[in-house]
Copies of this chain bind each other. A is one copy, B any other.
Amino acid sequence: MPQLRIALAQVNTTVGDLEGNAELTVEWTRKAAEAGAHIVVFPEMSLTGYPVEDLSLRPTFASASKQMVEALAKRLEDAGCGEVLTYIGYLDLDETGPRDAAAALYRGEVVARQFKHHLPNYGVFDEHRWFKPGQELEIVRFHGVDVGMVICEDVWQDGGPISALGKAGVDLVVAPNASPYERAKDDIRLPLIARRAAEAGAPLVYTNQIGGQDDLVFDGDSIVVGADGRLLARAPQFVEHLLVVDTDLVAGGHTAEGEFEGLRVKRRVLSEDAVPAYTPSTESAISEPLSDEAEVWHALVVGLRDYVHKNGFSSVTFGFSGGIDSAVVAALAADALGGDNVYGVSMPSEYSSEHSKGDAEDLARRIGAHYRVEPIADMVKVYVEQLQLTGLAEENIQARVRGMLLMALSNQDGHLVLATGNKTELAVGYSTIYGDAVGAFAPIKDLFKTHVWHLAKWRNKEAEKNGETPPIPENSITKPPSAELRPGQLDSDSLPDYLMLDDILDDYIEGDRGYVDLVDAGFEPETIDRVVRMVDKAEYKRRQYPPGTKITFKAFGRDRRLPMTNGWREGTVVTRSAQRDLLPG
């Protein structure tokens, strides 16, 4: 039984940064070599980052990516890592079109390259737009072991590459992945990988990337399973990690080439001799997945940190209102960047309560943030008097003055502006476009209001467990939420109770259920009608006046992309005149 020590490089790449990602590859391959690994497997498109979106369509980028693969093979050899069989991902381009590709590098050369076969085109994926599917599988014999590869979705779909490798015969399968985090995805990942290993009849090495990329976040959770589906190694979530595992493999001596399952199988021999026997490590390489709350919190922290850092910023600014949303965003930002990189701004109006200002100051003190107070009364007054604003126009101008104030501070001091809106608010349109929606990144846009409260309590409890100051003022958690845009205003004046509202929204948005299904689920028809109308109206408004952040709810739920001009209403009556209740702002 030939032995092989395999390393999984669970790294955090940056899309488009070929040079930086190449450096990262050399650095982590060196670590793998130092750990005595014979093979190292990087994530999908590790050289370009993932997803490259329409960068895949730029010939100059594809050409730079291809050249970098050749150069990287040489650089790895020069760095003394030439003997490690290194699997990386990159963007290829041939006469058929752009390809999501993986390559094996060895002794300064590209010894195998393969294109992804199954191209996902749902949810957050648009791969039929970005790539053409591959039809070939390249198996290399390395120290007597036949190693096949599949790329990401090739593992997630029935049939195709895995099945073809199983029929042609392999001793080991490596699978570079870029599989975005979704709530509880770790629960389905392991059984799936185990099933695929059984189909391939060989151990499977699944390397996933970590880190934030735009509004996606990747959790890692890289896994190695045996041919029998047994878990051999599992990396921790949300951190860069070199997972090293010793395997006892079968040298199957497979030779079949040609067509399997419609795919062409090719083979190449690198070396027949097994590695000299060595004593495998007895240490467990199996990390426990995080709890549900910790997982979400880490996803939000990592997504925020990488958005800020990968865009070349180090600090953030946003409004500290004293409410729960800005408090949770502040706690996340402090965890992500350090309190010293958080610049809170209290922007009280004549309607702001005393407790709001006190809670905002308390928050800043708890997380060690910078804090300043900039009253908006003088700015608002000029607009209101000059334009004679009343009602909604007067409410909105307050939120907009705050948005512009933050952008001015951002221009002046170089901080990135964060938007503090939650998913419930955004879904029902309880938010002002160009007002509180202003910001480059909205850390809690994927959390319903009830989740915000839940996580706030969880985070405070964690702090208490560790003997630290709970970051979120108790008062921000317990007081009734208010936008404070008119005297005595409460969210409950305009919205149903949040528990019920989030329940309906979860069914309507996440569950894609319709009016009739919601009635069947026991909600009151009047409430459904009210909520559905709010959501549809908000959807249009957001698309008409796209707010200061992507609002597609990508990271943790379904991505709804809907036309802006759109007469469809989920409610009972669909008429042209139903559009008339649409007003901007």
Contacts and interface: CB of A to CB of B under 8 A. Distances in A.
Given A405-B383, A546-B548, A307 B565 contact: yes
Nearest to A540: B311
A158 interface: no
A411 B311 contact: no
Contact of A16 (B54, B433, B563): B563
A52 interface: yes
Interface stretch (A293-301, A396-404, A471-479, A522-530): A396-404
Nearest to A54: B561
Contact of A574 (B49, B64, B387, B582): B64
Nearest to A68: B574
Given A567-B14, A584-B417, A514 B60 contact: yes
Given A213-B565, A382-B379, A438-B434, A411 B584 contact: yes
A228 interface: no
Interface stretch (A102-110, A121-129, A273-281, A357-365): A121-129
Nearest to A582: B312
A563 B404 contact: no
* Residue of A129, A403, A405, A550 with most chain B CB atoms under a 10 A cut-off: A129
Interface stretch (A17-25, A170-178, A242-250): A17-25
A378 interface: yes
A306 interface: yes
Contacts of A560: 54
A582 B414 CA distance: 10
A560 B129 CA distance: 12
A547 B310 CA distance: 21
Contacts of A51: 563
Interface residues of A, number: 104
Interface string A557-576: 00111111111111000111
A318 to B, nearest CB: 13
A440 B545 contact: yes
A212 interface: yes
A469 interface: no
A497 B568 CA distance: 46
A374 interface: yes
A290 interface: no
Contacts of A515: 60
A515 B61 CA distance: 11
B548 A549 contact: no
A509 to B, nearest CB: 11
B387 A409 contact: yes
Point out which of A18, A214, A312 has the most chain B C-beta atoms below 10 A from its C-beta.
A312
A412 B387 contact: yes
27 contacts: A15-B566, A15-B567, A17-B574, A20-B576, A53-B562, A55-B566, A55-B568, A57-B512, A58-B512, A59-B514, A60-B516, A60-B517, A122-B129, A126-B561, A214-B543, A214-B565, A310-B565, A311-B544, A379-B379, A390-B412, A393-B411, A407-B585, A411-B583, A416-B544, A417-B584, A545-B548, A546-B548
Given A49-B563, A53-B561, A414-B583, 15 more contacts: A15-B563, A20-B575, A53-B562, A59-B512, A60-B515, A60-B516, A60-B570, A126-B129, A307-B565, A311-B544, A311-B564, A387-B412, A389-B411, A397-B411, A411-B584
Identify the 3 closest CB pairs spanning chains A and B, nearest first. Answer: A17-B567, A16-B568, A60-B514
